[in-house]
Amino acid sequence: MSPNRLLLSYALRHPILIVLTVLLGFSSAMFNSVGTTIIVPLVLEFLGQKKLELSKAPPIIQKTMALFEGFEGGDRLLFMVLVVLLAIVLKNIANYVNILVSTDLSKKLINTFRKEGIKLLLDVDLDFYAKTKIGDIINRISQEIGRAANAIKIAIQLFTTVITIFVFVFLLISISWQLTIATSILLLGVFVINQFFVKRSKKFGKILSEKSRGYSGALLEILTGIRLIKSVSNEQYEYQRIENFIDEREQAEFQSQANFAAINPINEVSGILAILAIVFVGKNILLKDSSAEELEAISTVLGIYLFLLFRLLPVISQLNGQRSRFANVSASTAIVADFLRRDNKPIMSNGKNIYTKLSQEIRIENLSFAYPGHQDSVLNGVNLSIPKGTTMALVGASGAGKSTLADLLPRFYDPVEGRITIDGTDLKDYDIRSLRQAMGVVSQDTFLFNNSVRNNIAYGMTDVTEEDIIAAAKRANAYEFIMQLPQGFDTKVGDRGVLLSGGQRQRMAIARALLRNPDILILDEATSALDTVSERLVQQAIDELCRDRTTVVIAHRLSTIQKAHQIVVMDKGQVVEIGTHEELLRKEGYYSRLYKMQFEHNSDGEVKNVVKKELVKTSHEVRTHLTPMIVCLQLVVNDLVDSPQERHELTEEAYHSAVRLLKTLEYLEESSTIKSIA
């Protein structure tokens, strides 16, 4: 669909507003022409000229002036004044209402474009985001849609202006078709000159859209990558980069405005020259061979013609300015038209079967996959079976296809060949919403909204109670740290949970998954980026989450998946080994080599260094929890606190510190490296 047809199709969703703009535009043009036609005879009569003899005037002027035939003297003059004033008032009222209607239509289109754009962004597959810069998307939603919707407002103004021009041209032709032909030839030259500026407007509009897109993308990168920028002290470079985008965008905006500013002066000069030329031509056409009796009437007609033409020239100048503005936003219209298309975007087909629960198994049958637009396969001929209630671990080097295989389960992508079935039914036959609601995903990069802890845990759930949320937090080992936050469950966690530690974010994600109680669970390296103490707490929460649940685990640390019912070893997109931990070690194959690389290739010196680091880290954790506990108890024991409420708070703080210390010591006791020293 072309950009202009897109605008029209959306505008036609509001037929009442469209019809209203047509009627108002036509009414404005008619009132304008009536007032303009009467002004010249009114001025002549006001200056004392006798009643005009217009029998030789064009019929349209005769019919207009016939309205005043029944009046004489001052009454005739007063009636003409009232008609002119009424026509001017009605014209301006029609223009004012037309502006309100066009503005309302423009706002409705902006809302419609943005709503459909957001709906589209939620419907497209993840592959769209892999190929499209987030900055480009934000620019289209925030900037380009506004400019494109403004095009319909300009189009309505164009339509109104064109109607006005047609009405004036009709009057001019009725007065003298010869003069009108001469006028058209002169104004055609003005049109040619303006066409040059219209083309420049289109060019500058395209440049402005490109610069706005670059600016939005660069700004988003700076805001999301601010930690990296500061860590390498690269603020000056990023400032210069964004400064260049700002300067280039403002330069494009200036060029666009300068182009607009040149249109009116050129049209004004061209219009004056045209009027002078028409006066000369009109003298030879209308006044030639006229008798003395006809001269007065013809002079009045020529005055009306010139006055109509004088009023028409600004309208033509306005038309040229509107054409230039419309051309300027045409680039945005094209961008929005392409953005709102669905036929050129990856959108997952939806099945009709509502997913209820897993009864037997998940099967992956002869599955192969390549990312859209890429020829190299990421997965080749994968065949697996995951019985209900069991845990399957995926291990292998980076790039082996583990995460890709996990992404196929909730249908973030569809396989190129083969299929995935649940109880014999292809995933494509299930309703996507019901399928994904039955799955829980906990990944290494946990996303939290800048909202309260409560809302983040209950995200996507509408029928949960406060007790459910608290129970999920306790099962995820998150309740204790949540209660220590300033507002507890009402504490806002910042953008992407920046106010929480990595371990705390992971435990909140696990609490979210526990609250959803998923039928199928996917864990994507959920503990790989945590310190030892946080990993211990998170692993305990994961064990609670996985209990009696069908689970797919992706892990680099082999120590976390030794209890899995089956471990699938992947290499270069293929399954190379399957078995339990003990079975795979006995095979002495790929898994055994990975295991030895992680656990058995350390020299004695390396082991001592690891142990030393673990002891220092654990000692630091113990002192961190023990110090506030001792301070709180010392204040209570020495009677340094008088308020019972403050004594209770200090005692409670000491209790929490003791609990944290106990968990740290439990980790110390169970640490394999510490046991090796004993």
Q: Is residue 227 part of a domain?
A: no
Q: Is the per-residue pLDDT at 585 higher than 80?
A: yes
Q: Is 148 exposed, middle or buried (0-12, 13-18, 19+ CB in 10 A)?
A: buried
- pTM, whole model, 2 decimals? 0.64
Q: How many CB atoms lie within 10 A of CB 572?
A: 14
Beta bridge partners of 395: 569
User: 48-98, pLDDT tens digit by residue?
Assistant: 555 555 555 556 566 666 666 766 667 777 887 888 888 889 988 988 898
Mean pLDDT of the chain: 77
pLDDT at 65: 66
Could you give the CA distance from residue 431 to residue 514 in angstroms, rounded to a whole number? 23
Give strand pairing partners of 492.
452
**Segment 212-228 mean pLDDT:** 74
Q: How far is CA 314 from CA 39, 270, 320, in A?
A: 17, 11, 10
Cβ 11 vs Cβ 333: under 8 Å: no
Residue-number span of the structural domain to which 669 is assigned: 604-677
Closest CA to 580 of 598, 593, 596, 561: 561
Dihedral over Cα of 182, 188, 194, 196: its sign: negative
pLDDT value at 613 more than 70: no
State the pLDDT at residue 288. Answer: 58
Residues 288 and 313 in one domain: yes
CATH number at residue 477: 3.40.50.300
Residue 349 domain-assigned (yes or no): no
273 and 288 share one domain: yes
Cα–Cα distance measured from residue 539 to residue 560, given in angstroms and rounded to the nearest whole number: 8
**Residue 336 vs residues 4, 107, 158, 225, 297: alpha-carbon distances, Å:** 11, 15, 21, 28, 57
Q: Which two tokens stand for residue 433?
A: 């919403």
What DSSP assignment string belongs to 577-605? EEE-HHHHHHHTSHHHHHHHHHHT---HH
Q: What is the pLDDT of residue 647?
A: 67
3-state secondary structure of 533: helix
Q: Convert the pLDDT of each residue in 19-37 to its tens digit.
A: 888 888 888 888 887 777 7
CATH number, domain containing residue 629: 1.10.287
pLDDT tens digits, one per residue of 243-301: 887 888 788 778 777 876 777 777 777 767 777 777 776 666 655 555 555 555 566 67
Shared-domain flag, residues 554 and 638: no
In this predicted structure, the answer to whether residue 18 has a pLDDT above a threshold of 60 is yes
CA atoms within 13 A on the CB side of 211: 21
Between CA 556 and CA 564, with CA 561 as vertex, the angle to 5 degrees is 140
| Total number of domains constituting the chain | 4
pLDDT at 485 over 70: yes
Based on the fold, state whether residues 310 and 375 are members of the same structural domain: no
With beta carbons less than 8 A apart as the criterion, state whether 391 and 523 touch: no
- Write the pLDDT tens digit of every residue in 446-461: 788 888 888 888 888 8
Quick one: pLDDT at residue 672? 44
Q: Which of 198-202, 211-215, 504-508, 564-568 has the highest mean pLDDT?
A: 564-568
User: Is 500 found in the same domain as 387?
Assistant: no
Asked if 495 and 385 sit in the same domain, the reply is: no
Same domain as 451, residue 414 = no
- Based on the domain organization, do 388 and 405 belong to the same domain? yes
CATH assignment of the domain containing 154: 1.20.1560.10
Asked whether residue 237 is domain-assigned, the answer is no
84 with 144, same domain?
yes
Q: Record the tokens describing residue 108, joined without a space.
A: 């409705």
Note the pLDDT tens digit of each residue in 114-149.
888 888 888 888 778 777 877 788 878 877 888 888
The set of residues, in sequence order, having a beta carbon less than 8 Å from that of 224 and lying 6+ positions away, is none
Quick one: 25 and 94 in the same domain? yes
Provide the 8-state DSSP code for 424. Answer: T
Q: Confidence class of residue 363 from pLDDT cuts 50, 70 and 90?
A: very high
Q: Which residue, among 461, 463, 497, has the nearest Cα to 482 in the 3D structure?
A: 497
Q: How far apart (Å, rounded) are the C-alpha atoms in residues 340 and 213?
A: 17
